[in-house]
Each structure stands twice: as structure tokens, then as C-alpha cells.
Chain A
Amino acid sequence: MTVPRPASPSASPPLLEAASLERRFGAFRALRGVSLTVRPGECHMVVGPNGAGKTTLLRLLAGLARPTAGSVRLSGAILGRDGESRRGIGLLSHQSHLYDDLTSVENLSFAARLYGSPDPVRRARRALDAVGLGGRADEPVRRLSRGMVQRVAIARSLLHQPILLLLDEPFTGLDPAASAQVAALFAAERNAGRALVLVTHEVHEAWELATHAHVLVRGVWTSSGLREGTLETFLARYREGLHE
């Protein structure tokens, strides 16, 4: 199985540049000196034990939290207070960000309105069709299975055609079939030139997708770079590293 590689590194300018990110409050330090550069067509997998700071990192990359030091740039623009800088970001987590009492269409058209779409309902229906849920678009989200909810959540996160996709444990709670579908979707996005950052515990789910692999332990990278070797050697190295 060939490792998916992006075009030569200097071919495209970085989409996402996180420089020496630090996140602390007083004595409590969640991240220190974390840098990350993601180019179009790359998928960066981030693994690490609980409490390593993975969620904090993702929130910083999403512009949901401010770094104590360092900066995050998306297409050259710093992610700041200004909402516009967040426009190109899509976030998918193990939580659906959906309102259970509303239908999928209502949920997505609301999101479309937030992003300023001129025809939110039509955009919503198209997005739902694209994930194969057109038929159940008018049912309350409450009535959908976990796998379907995940697909609606994916549709919601891709609605505004983001250039950067941040994925936080997206395979949690999915059966193998659903996981495979979701992975295929992400692969398609990656191949279409999006940048992906994927935080996960389930390395085997993400392995095929990833072009780069990073390990975060207690707020710092212990390993960072192109995805190399096999899944087994990576896991072995990872477990070794944790015991140090």
C-alpha cells in the first residue's frame, strides 16, 4: 500500500501554520512550544495519551481558544478575534454540534445561515444528499442512528467548503462500516486539496489517511514528521515513548 504523499513540499504554500504554541494559565501548562505546518492535500494525525493537550491544540487551531504565546495562521492570516479568519475552518468532533429536536435540514440550514449562504435550505439539502441522507433530512436528529448522526455532522462541517478540516476523534462510537465510509470521505477531501488535522486514539483508523504523524505527550511533541514505516512499528515506537 503506497503512502499517500502530497506534491513536493515546496510546491504549495502552507495552509495552516502554528508557530510555537503555548497554552497555560498561571502554573497550569497544557501546551508548550508546539509548531505545526500543514499544506493542502496533507493529513496530519495527532496521537497521544489522555491529558496530553490534544483537545487544547485542536481548539487553538480552530480559533476557539487563544494561545498564551505563539500564533496560528490560516492562509497567512492570523486567527484572531475577527470572525472572518475562522471562515475556512471546519470542525468535526465526537460531539455532533447538532440540535436533537430539529431536523437535519433545519440544523444545516441554520449553519448555512451563520456562514452567510444566500439559499440556506437548498445548500443544506444538497449537503445532506451528498452524504446519502437526503431521504431522512426532515426527521428530527434524535431519531437517527449514531452513524447517521455522524454523517449529518460531517455534512454540517463541510457545508461552507472549508479549506482546513479539524477532526477530533471522529471515529468514536462508529461501527467498522460507518468508520470506513467516514474515512473514505476524509480521504476524498484530502485528495481534493484540503488540509486535515486528525486527533485520534484509534491510530489504525487514521493510518491510511495520514500523510504525517505526530505524538503529543504532556503538551509537547515527542515525535513529529512524515508518516513513516508501518502501523505496527509506529505503534511500537509510540508505546515505547509513553513508557519513558
Chain B
Amino acid sequence: MSGLEVCAQLRRDARFAAAKIVMLTAAAQADDVRRGLAAGADHYLTKPFSPLGLLDLIETLLPCAIVWQRG
């Protein structure tokens, strides 16, 4: 079962309506991005990705998730 199928199944289930979904995809797989968004993903992240890029995206999608403890 691909990530795209998982995404579509989660989006068909009302219990997961509030969950954010991010597709991880290799840069060359542009079609995966389009299919992921069509399947209901909120965003996508291109591999390879940096930890800070991941945190920035999560902070955007889940504003209260990250408590910055730096500096």
C-alpha cells in the first residue's frame, strides 16, 4: 500500500478530518506531488530535506506543536 493510498484512505475517514498530511517525495517525482495533493495531502516535502525545513513546515501546519527552546 503506497503513501498515496494511505493518504486517500485517511481522507475518506472523518475521524482523521483534522489531521494534517504531508507527502514525502523525491525531487524527481513531480507527479507524486500532484497525486498527493489530489489525494488530500496538505503539503509535501521534497527529499532530501533538512531538519530545520521539517520543523518550519510543522510549525506552519501545527502552530502550537513546537515550543522553541533555543536561545
A binds B: no
Seen from chain A, the residues whose Cβ lies within 8 Å of a Cβ on chain B are none
